Amino acid sequence: MTLKGNALVGQSGGPTSVINSSLYGVIAEARNHSCIENVYGAIHGIEGVLKREIIDLTRQDEGTIQGLTRTPGAALGGCRYRVQDEDLERIFQVFQEYNIKYFFYIGGNDSMDTAHRISEYAKEIGDGVLRVIGIPKTIDNDLPVTHHCPGFGSCAKYVATSVREAGLHTASMYTSEPITILQTVGRNTGWLPGASALARMDEEDAPHIICFPEVPFELNQFLGKVEDTYRRVGGAFIVVGEGLRKADGSYVSAQADEVGTDAFGHPMLGGASDYLREAIEKNLKIKARNVKLDICQQAAMHFASARDVKDAIAVGRSAVKAAVDGKSGYMVTLLEEEGATSFSELEKVANLEREVPREWIDPSGSYVTTEFLNYARPLIQGEVEVKIRAGLPAYVKLRKIMV
């Protein structure tokens, strides 16, 4: 059955450098289907729906739409709002008011939970009311089912580049600043710390030690590895995931108070590298420094992966095609081949995480295997041509043309 009406797209969670490429894919593909009359955008995801803050994407300048594929951040604005049962009726009132027949939600694990709940509510109130498709996004690369996630390739490219460059800096300063600890994001998974291994060209190159959230942290073992590397190489470059955990499952550092916990109950992480630096200086009496890439690794469009951009566009386009063809309650997934897509039921990905396979982490627990490198390397290939104005990247902004 063909549904005729408007499409609404929202972005949720932390932005990636290519999340707007998926938005572009939705807009561009929607133009090919006469059953979609207009494409609207929800400002700050589902929060924008609840507040009726919805803009018209159909009336944006063509240059702006094209520029989305070269612009970081979430052009519509992201959110970390957890939908409550009482919100669902209000959401569908807004959908009815704006004649929304197609809803696309770009995000990660928690965002797929939102999409799943909306899809299930649509089934409860009557088939054919709304079609819902989730579009994957996360630098953490932790969504299950999909081969990889849009956003990971570009972030991995930035992390590996940072490690290669900072590693050279550290090596040149071994006599006075011999230890560097670089921290990536990734909550409970080590895909980004593992990707730092792409930087190494020979055994003495950074990174020397990688600390994975999947491998329980044991302080004495860690200190022994650092001391051995220091004696052998002259220094050490360590990469750690922000979600580093002890054997009992607790984080080595986390802020879990009211301010430091998000709507989905996730504690604020960020102190893992501080913990390691203090442990090294206290126990080994060796000078150490730590580097936190933080949001810079999510926003580095200037050195994004061209493969990543193409995949991000592909999932946006596939979402629209699937919805028009009658699919609902699915998330688009990526296959190993560039731009190739498939689908998974939202219930199989919502609120679930995919860890780095233990067999892709070497027996020492502090480096990756060849299988990991062979998986990650194709995802960082190609560079994106970013427009430069007055020596700096020139990015676009959507006009807030309210509906």
Which active-site residues does the annotation give?
140
Spatial separation of the C-alpha atoms in residues 99 and 6, rounded to whole Å: 6
Spatial separation of the C-alpha atoms in residues 16 and 296, rounded to whole Å: 10
288: CB partners within 8 A, 6+ apart: 178, 179, 180, 181, 276, 277, 280, 281
Spatial separation of the C-alpha atoms in residues 138 and 109, rounded to whole Å: 8
Which residues of 229-329 form beta strands (DSSP E)? 236-241, 288-292
Structure token digits, residue 89 = 């009726």
Structure token digits, residue 333 = 């997934």
Structure token digits, residue 346 = 């939202």
Quick check: helix, strand or coil at residue 63? helix
Q: Give Cα separations from 354 to 74, 141, 250, 279 (angstroms).
A: 24, 8, 19, 30
Structure token digits, residue 55 = 């803009």
Q: What share of the chain is helix, strand, coil (3-state, %, to 5)?
A: 40, 20, 40
Amino acid identity of residue 281, one-letter, is E
- Taken as a whole, the chain contains a residue count of 403
Q: Is the dihedral of CA 301, 302, 303, 308 positive or negative?
A: positive
Phi, psi of 219 (to 5 degrees): -60, -50
CB count within 10 Å of CB 248 equals 6
